[in-house]
Every structure is written in structure tokens, then in C-alpha cells.
Structure 1
Amino acid sequence: MITTPHSHAPRPRRRRTAVALLASAVSVCLVSASAPVVPLGVGDRLFPYLGNPGYDVASYDLSFTYPGSNSEPLRAVTTIDAWTTADLDRVNLDFAHGTVESVEVDDAPAEFRTAGEDLVITPEHSVPDGNWMRITVRHTSDPLPPKGREGGWVRTADGLAMANQADAAHLVFPCNDHPSDKAVFTIRVTAPDGHTAVANGLPTGVSRSGGSTTWTYRTRHPMATELAQVSIGRSTVLRRTGPHGLPVRDVVPTEHRKALEPWLEKTPGQIAWMEGKLGRYPFETYGLLMADASTGFELETQTLSLFERKLFTEPGHPKWYVESIMVHELAHQWFGDSVSPRTWSDLWLNEGYATWYEALYAEKQGGKPMRDRMKAAYGASDGWRAVGGPPGAPKAPEPGNKTGIFRHNVYDGAALVLYALRQEIGHAAFERLARAWVSRHRDGTAATKDFVRLAAEVSGRDLDGFFQDWLYGEQTPPMPGHPDWKRQAPAQPQASAKQAAPAQTPAR
């Protein structure tokens, strides 16, 4: 596994600061082992109990043993190396759907209990601030979804895949399940012969023994837990080369390989197109995982985006539309994966930019003008804000519908903010801003306030008032350069958040 020896000097404080800023909102004592066992969180406005204060994860080592059925629990071992940022008598991990068999902290047995969706660990000895600690949890990982929850393992026609956004990685493995705490991953999967396993990053080894095969993958760049991906199935891995020798690998159901290959051939060209907009692709590999499953969405899992196979094989979608959705998830590799949101309220940056490049590609390939799409979005924007909140302050999801934050207001509504910004600062400054954003915050996390500050720096203008109105106003401001654009009154009665989910873009 990737590990940082205890004797090494402390890692740079940039990531520690990102986690500490969120954790400062949590007024819970971290050091008293006699205090009641309670769930903690890092202070996220939309998910108050997501993540945990007191440590910064450096690496995850995940091992899964697949029994050959997508309805039986997998045996699993999760090992976490982390840097403590407080004195800890207890350590909280997010974990809500599996049986914990044992826990060790620094190779010594530790007590554990559950509180809400937290696994609360009491080590034999407290861990001081500024130390490296290793936590090893032996557990099961259940592919059957818990009642009333979404995400985690996705059962496919021939195996499993993952869809952990926004708060479901801890349904699969113990973790610090918040995008502010990114880490590198090593993932091992053992499955019966006849199955193929693929995960984020690049393969580092394959071993066979006793009728089963173990695959090992490792990421070269830090990753948020919600972006983890593991595919297990009767699949074929197709390989090709992208720009500047980039390894591109796709995972497809073997029986559908012939029908899917023409779509997959488009990926290297799409990467080159995106690189022309933003600079070099930020990771070590890319590819599509085409799953035989009905999810209702596509998902930008890091280096291996998840797609429903039927998007490509069932008639009804124009060719330009399918390709634009491919570009939406590809754009997320820069916006959301390489540069991850500091909090879930910063989601508009991920989805707004992914929608932006989706729309640009649709204009290029399908002759669908960006201006027309944005004019339509402007007319609907007040209604989206009424249902889901303004783009920069989305409303919390409804109980039992955690994916309810993925509404129109953070898709086309957020792209509309970017369109207004381009109108305000000009095309050249807008293009420089996008490149500067993904370059400056590569492999890190960033917040809306960082974007506002960078936009002012690049444009040479004070944009505080502009962003305040466009990101947080109840009503959509006038569109710069288009005084004739009109807003439509929100429909009555308002639709529920679930009903307001994007209809045109089944992409996260």
C-alpha cells in the first residue's frame, strides 16, 4: 500500500488547512474518551454529519473479495493512513452499511461502536496531534442497498459498480467521506475466474490462485471518496492511446463490445478537444465504464467515468447529444475531480463548468447554439432558484433523497452564471480564468470564494457585487449584453426537488 512512514517530516499544510477550516465549525470535544459516543461532521451546510474532524487522510488501501454474486456481502479490509490534526482519544469514521469484524490502530486492537452513520473507534492509547496513524478495519461490504438510501454499490447485470456521489462511499467502505479530504488510493479486488475487475488509476499487478484472480490498482493523484470506482463483471477491457501517449482504457460488457466500440473511439478526440480549452488532461489515465445497470445518471468517477450502457445502445438519443454527455463527464475530470469542491455548496462550479463544455460540444457537433440554450435557461432560472435555491447556496436535500442537490439550478442554472460572467469580463479573460482555475488548484480543493478572488485577479475588476447577485440572489439578475432576455414567473405550485432533477442532462 502507499504509506507515509511515521519518521517522515509533516506533509504540506495546504490540505490540512482545508480540512481544519471546515472542522472548526464542529463544537465537539475530540479528546475525551468518557464523553458519549456521537456522530461528528466537518460542518458542511448540506451534509452536517459528513466527514470527521481531527485527522487528514493520506491514503486508503481497500481490499474487496467478491463472492461471485451481486447480492451477497463482499469481505473487505480498509486500511487508512492519516495525519492527526488534534489530540484524539477517539477516531470517527463514516461507515453505515456493513458488519465490522475488528479494528486496529497502529497494529493494536481497538474498541469500536457505532453512532448514527459513524464508526467510533477508541484506540488503546490516544493519538497526539501531529502524528501519523494507521487504522485497519476488517468488515463486510453489502451490495444490497440499505432501506431509504441511495448510492454505494450498483448492481449490474453481471456484477457490481460504484456510484458514491454525494455521500455514499461510506456505504461501501469506512472513510472520511467528504471531498475536502482527498487521498491516494490502492484498490485490490479478488473475484472468481471469469470476472474482470477494474478500479481507479493504473493496474499494478494481477495474481491468480485457486480459481480466483486478484487485480490491484493505484491512483497517482489524490481523490475524493465520492469518486472511487470499482467494476466487477464479465467485462472486456479495451485499450487505446490518447493525446501525448495517455493510456485510455474502457470497460464494457463483453456481449456488447461490438456495438459500443464506435462510441469509445471518440474519447481520444474529445480529450484533445478539452485539452485545447483547459490544458493537459490532469490524470494518469481515462476511460468509460459502460455498466449494464439502470441508474438514471452518468457519473464522473475519477479516471473511469460511469455510464449506463443503454445510453449508447438504445435508439432515441441523437448522436450529438450522447457525445455531449460523454464530454460532460470528461470535463468533470478537471472540474470536480482534479479540483474538488471544498464544501458541497460549491457544487455549482463542478456542474456549471461540465454543463458549459457539454453545451459547447453540442454546439460544435450538433449545431445547437450555446446562446439559445442560455436564453432558455435565463427564462427558467427564477423557477429553478425557487425550487432548489440559488446556484451558490443550493437547498438541502429532502430526507431520503440525498441526490436531491443535483437540480437544474446547479446544472444549466450554474452554466448561466458562467455565461453572464463571460458577458461581463469578455471572452479572453473568461478563457484565461478557466485555465488558471484548473492549474492553480490541481489535485486540491477550492471554494466559491477562491473562484471569486481569481476572477477578480484575472479580469482586473472587482466582481463581488456581480457574484453576490448571480450566485445568491433569489431572482436572476439582468443578463449583461442581452437586455431583451426575459425571466418567466415560477410555475405554481412549485415542483418538489425530486421532480426538478435535470431532465435533459442525466449526468452528474
Structure 2
Amino acid sequence: MDHPSVAAARRTARGAALLPAVLALVAGCTAGLGGSVGTPGAAGVRDPYFPRLGNGGYDVTHYDLALDVDATAERLSATAVITARATQDLSAFHLDLTGLEVRSVNVEGRPAAVNRAGSELTLRPDRAVADRLRTGRTFRTVVRYTGAPRTVTDADGSREGWLRTADGAVALGEPAGSMAWFPGNHHPGDKAAYDVRVTVPEGRSAVSNGELVSRRTSGGRTAFHWRVREPMASYLATVAVGRYAVRRTVTEDGLPVITAVDPAVAAASAGVPDRIAEIVAWGEKRFGPYPFSSAGAVVGRRGDAGYALETQNRPFFPGPPDTGLLVHELAHQWFGDSVTPASWRDMWLNEGFATYAEWLWSEDHDGVPVEESFGKAYADDANWAFPASRPPGAADLSRPPVYGRGAMVVHRIRQEMDDDEAFFGLVRGWLSAHRHGNASTADFTAYADRVSGADLAEVWEHWLDGGSRPAGG
């Protein structure tokens, strides 16, 4: 017989040996009850201007959207298949969607509970699925929804979302209108590939981003399937439904140019495909390789929207665009669409460079020196209302300082470098380093400081971030 102290020691040792097995059993039982399946993803990504926009806990890799649009383009019945990768252990996650009625949701093939608060959908997978939503795991969510997509009024009074036109509709999404027609992670920081399938009454066209995979007509309805292979921010997604004349041409380098033109403006838009080809070729010489597998435009009627927008591959124009506007929106394919802002505070990187592209085009084609364009922008009081990098609020994101002052910052870098070959090398290097990704103002200033070989402290302090007009413009 053991001494009592020895027996106690042995009992303690046996208990210690059994402890891992007991803990594992408890953990397994707790997981089965939903107790250790992670935490909910955040309901927003704390964007400086739109804190509830976007969602945390996952990155979308692909959207497969199927839209069935009625004869008036006022209602749709749709399915969104969203493939995403978990960036944390998830017990629940959010999608952004406004206005439309959710019919059903499943995650990994099993029904999920849905709670709605305004434009936020909270999805709670069942326990068996939630236990598998671990960091790094890819999962698929299917949302079936229906209703009349909304037109959204922005803080600055402009209209986006689902805009009705004379014979259809156009979907425009900057900054948040895409949530009016499909559920998703609607912040520019989460880019994804897309398949967009749109079924419309026979005789109408449905045009989207990327390239046309198929077009089939049956029973008085035509189904169009568009595919975007390169990553795209959701605010750059579009669908245009109407009696568009769709034309496909090819540049000298073999790049497809797909244009969709409303018949009402066909005559005035006849030269658009050739001008697109010319501008893309010029842009490649200035900025480097065109970043996408097709180019083009959607040209609607005046009044279809209050602005043009750089929707990826296929900018939208409300009426025939002049050359300057074409240059601006096509420049965005490099600046904004390929290299997309990390947050909406970084929008000057889109608009400043696109505006500077207009100045460069005017110098190369119209004999207007960039210095002259810079001087006009410097003299314009509107460009000094606030720093390009810090608009006061969401209503100010499209005001002049983001454009004109942003372009002046770009030119001041060029002046400080005093070497055009090195300057355009810097621009091409920036685009190459962040191709199909996201970048912030801090990323850009750090890159320019490192690569330029110039002291740019004064440019950042006074021209980008300063509160007043610098002397010596």
C-alpha cells in the first residue's frame, strides 16, 4: 500500500494527465453549442467620412450577381453569390444593402439568420457553419433579394444608386450607391472580381464592366453575362439598361474597346471609340501599361446623371463627352480604378492625378503649357477652401481642392524633382507598385520621399496639408 502522501501525489499526477483530454472535450462541446466560434465582424471600417461603410472580419474575393430586371427597369429580382475569406474567427458578419427586400440567405449552403438595421444586414450562420469560419477560411454566402432599387442622394446633393433613364436605368456607386442594387462589402478597401448577369426584355441591352462572356435570348428575354477579372472596388461597378447601341472595336495593340451609346446621342458620339483608343495609347506612354483587359464607355442622354463617373473599364457619361472629360475619366483607370484609395480621405490621389492628366493632354495636344494650367489653378480661390488631403466632410469630397489643389501637388513634386524623366518614372513606379491594390496618402508621400531624390517636406506641409495658399505659386 502506498503511503498517503504518495497516493495523493499519484492521484494529482493522474488528474494532470487527464486534464488536457477533459479540456478538449469541454471545448468541443462548447463549440457545438456555439460558445467558441469567434466574434462578429465589425459593422463598418471606420472610414473618416463614412464610418459605417464596409464591414470587418472578411475580404470578398468574388461577386457573382444575377439580376432579373423588369420591363420598366424599376424592379429587379436578384441573387448575389459572395465568395470571401475570413480575416478573423467569425460568429457573424455584416453586408451593406439599402432598400431591397431580402428573401433568403445561406452561408456555406445552410440557412443563416438575418437581422436588418438600416443599410446593415447582420448574418448569423448556424452553429455548424460558424464553427468553420476561421481565419483564412474561404466561405460562400448566397443572398436572394428583390424590390425597387433606390436612388440615393449624397451629402453634396448629387444622385447615385439606381438612376432611372428614358428607357431603362443606370447604376452608379460613388461613394456608396452600389449598396442600392447589390449586397456586399461596400468600401473601396475591399476589391474583388465580378461576374454580372443581367436579364432584360428582348430589344434592350444590359452593359456592365469587363468583357461580355455571353448573350442569349429566349422567351422574349435576353441574358447578358459580363466578367471582370481584375479586382474592382464596388463603387466602380455599373449596370446600364436601355436601348444602347453596343459596339466592339480593337486598338492597334489589340485592346478591346466596348462602347454603349444611347441612340439619341449616337451621331454626336460617333468618334468616341477612336478617341478612347488615342487617349489610352497616350496614357500608356505617360503612365505605363493600361491596367485592364478592355476599355470603353457608356454614353447616355444628358440628364441621366449629373456627372460622369470612372466606372471600371467603361466610364459613364451623361451625354457625348468632350475630349477633356474623356481624358479625365480614362486617366482614372490608372489613378483610382487600378490604384484605388485606401479610404475616402485619399480621394485627392484619384482626382489630383486625373486633373493633372488633363493638363498634360492640353500641353501635348493643344499647346497649353502645364505651367499655365497650374497658374490658373493657383489663382482660383476655390482651390484653397481646404487642404486637398482633408476635406471637412463627406459633402466636400468632390469640391475643387480635391481636384485642382491635388493636381498642383503633383506638379509641385515635378518642379522639385526638376527632371521629367525621373518624375514620370516615379509616377509609373507608383502605379506598378500598387497595381490592382489600394494605397493611402501616407503610402504615396512615403513613396515619393523615397524615390524622388528631392526634399518634398514643403510640398506636403504647404501644398497638400496647409491651411492657406502658399506664396510663390
Counterpart in the other structure of 1:496? none
Residues 182-331 of structure 1 correspond to what in structure 2 (within 5 A)? 182-294=191-303, 295-309=305-319, 311-312=320-321, 322-331=322-331
How far apart in 2 are the matches of 1:371 and 1:326? 22
Shift in alpha-carbon separation, 1:411–1:141, aligned structure 2, 3 A: farther
- Which residue, 375, 391, 404 being the options, matches 2:388? 391
Find the partner of 1:46 among 33, 44, 49.
Answer: 49
Cα distance in structure 2, aligned partners of 1:367 and 1:277: 17
Correspondence 1:64 to 2:56: no
Q: 1:288·1:304 contact (CA, 8 Å) conserved in 2?
A: yes
Q: CA deviation at 1:250?
A: 0.3
Q: Which amino acid aligns with 2:140?
A: R
Cα distance in 1 for residues equivalent to 2:265 and 2:402 = 34
Mark the CA change 1:277 to 1:220 in structure 2 (over 3 Å): closer, same or farther: same
Shift of the alpha carbon at 1:475? 1.4
Which residue of the partner structure matches residue 180 of structure 2?
A: 171
Higher relative strand content: 2
What does 1:95-134 correspond to in 2, within 5 Å?
95-125=97-127, 126=130, 127-134=133-140
Which runs of structure 2 are paired with 1:359-398 in the superposition (5 Å)?
359-380=359-380, 383-386=382-385, 389-398=386-395
Answer whether contact 1:54 1:86 (CA < 8 A) is retained. Answer: yes
The verdict on how the C-alpha distance between 1:189 and 1:356 changes in structure 2, with shifts beyond 3 A counting, is same
Equivalent-residue separation in structure 2 for 1:213 and 1:305 (angstroms): 23
**Which residue of 375, 399, 404 maps to 1:407?**
399
- Which of structures 1 and 2 has the bigger CA Rg? 2
Partners of 2:154 and 2:100 in 1: how far apart? 16
**Aligned-pair distance for 1:90?**
1.1
The equivalent of 1:357 in structure 2 is 357
State the Cα distance separating 1:261 from its structure 2 match. Answer: 0.9
Cα offsets for 1:137-185 (capped at 9, x unmatched): 1112534425778311122211111210011111111010011110000
Q: 258-267 or 184-193: which moved more?
A: 258-267
Unaligned regions of 5+ residues in structure 1, if any? 1-29, 313-321, 399-403, 486-508
Distance in 2 between residues matched to 1:61 and 1:162, nearest whole Å: 16
> Structure 1 pair 65/87, CA: closer, same or farther in 2 (3 Å)?
same
Aligned residue type for 1:48: P
1:331-480 equivalences in 2 (<5 Å)? 331-380=331-380, 383-386=382-385, 389-398=386-395, 404-426=396-418, 427-478=420-471
Aligned to 1:22: none
C-alpha contact 2:416 2:456 (8 A) present in aligned 1: no
Distance 1:98 1:89, change over 3 A: same
**Match for residue 93 of structure 1?**
95
1:135-154 aligned within 5 A:
135-140=141-146, 142-145=148-151, 150-154=159-163
- CA change 1:45–1:472 in 2 (3 A) is same
Cα distance in 2 between the residues matched to 1:466 and 1:146:
37
2:417/2:453 contact within 8 Å kept: no
TM-score, structure 1 as length reference: 0.81
Aligned CA distance change for structure 1 residues 334 and 231 (closer, same or farther; 3 Å): same
Distance 1:407 1:462, change over 3 A: same
Deviations 1:341-363 (A, max 9, x none): 01111111110010001122233
Aligned position for 1:319:
none
Please report the RMSD computed on the Cα atoms of aligned residues, expressed in angstroms.
Answer: 1.9
Give the alignment's TM-score, normalised by structure 2.
Answer: 0.86
Residues 40-91 of structure 1: per-residue CA shift (max 9 Å, x gap): 2112111111110100101000111111103x21111111000001121111
Q: Distance in 2 between matches of 1:181 and 1:307?
A: 25
Letter in 2 for 1:130: G
In the alignment, the residues of structure 1 paired with residue 255 and residue 415 of structure 2 have an alpha-carbon distance, to the nearest angstrom, of: 35
Report the equivalent of 1:73: 75
Aligned-pair distance for 1:32? 5.0
Task: Give the 3-state SS of the residue equivalent to 2:270 in structure 1.
Answer: helix
Report the Cα distance in structure 2 between the residues aligned to 1:99 and 1:393, rounded to whole angstroms.
37
Which of 125-134 and 95-104 deviates more? 125-134
Cα displacement (A) at 1:464: 4.0
**8 A Cα contact 1:243 1:271, kept in partner:** no
Structure 1 residues 211 and 436, CA gap change in structure 2 (3 angstroms): same
Contact 2:302–2:318 (8 Å) recurs in 1: yes
Distance 2:469 2:153 in 1: 38
Q: Is the 8 A contact 1:242 1:271 kept in 2?
A: no
Preserved CA contact (<8 Å) 1:143 1:155: no
Q: Which residues of structure 2 form unaligned runs of 5+?
A: 1-36
SS at match of 1:244: coil
Q: Is the 8 A contact 1:39 1:118 kept in 2?
A: no
Structure 1 position 97, deviation (Å)? 1.9
The answer (yes or no) to whether the contact 1:105–1:123 under 8 Å persists in 2 is yes
User: For this pair of structures, how many residues does the alignment match?
Assistant: 428
Residue identity (%):
39
Shift of 1:423: 1.0
Given that 2:413 and 2:456 are in contact with CA atoms closer than 8 Å, whether structure 1 keeps it comes out as: no
Partner of 1:503: none
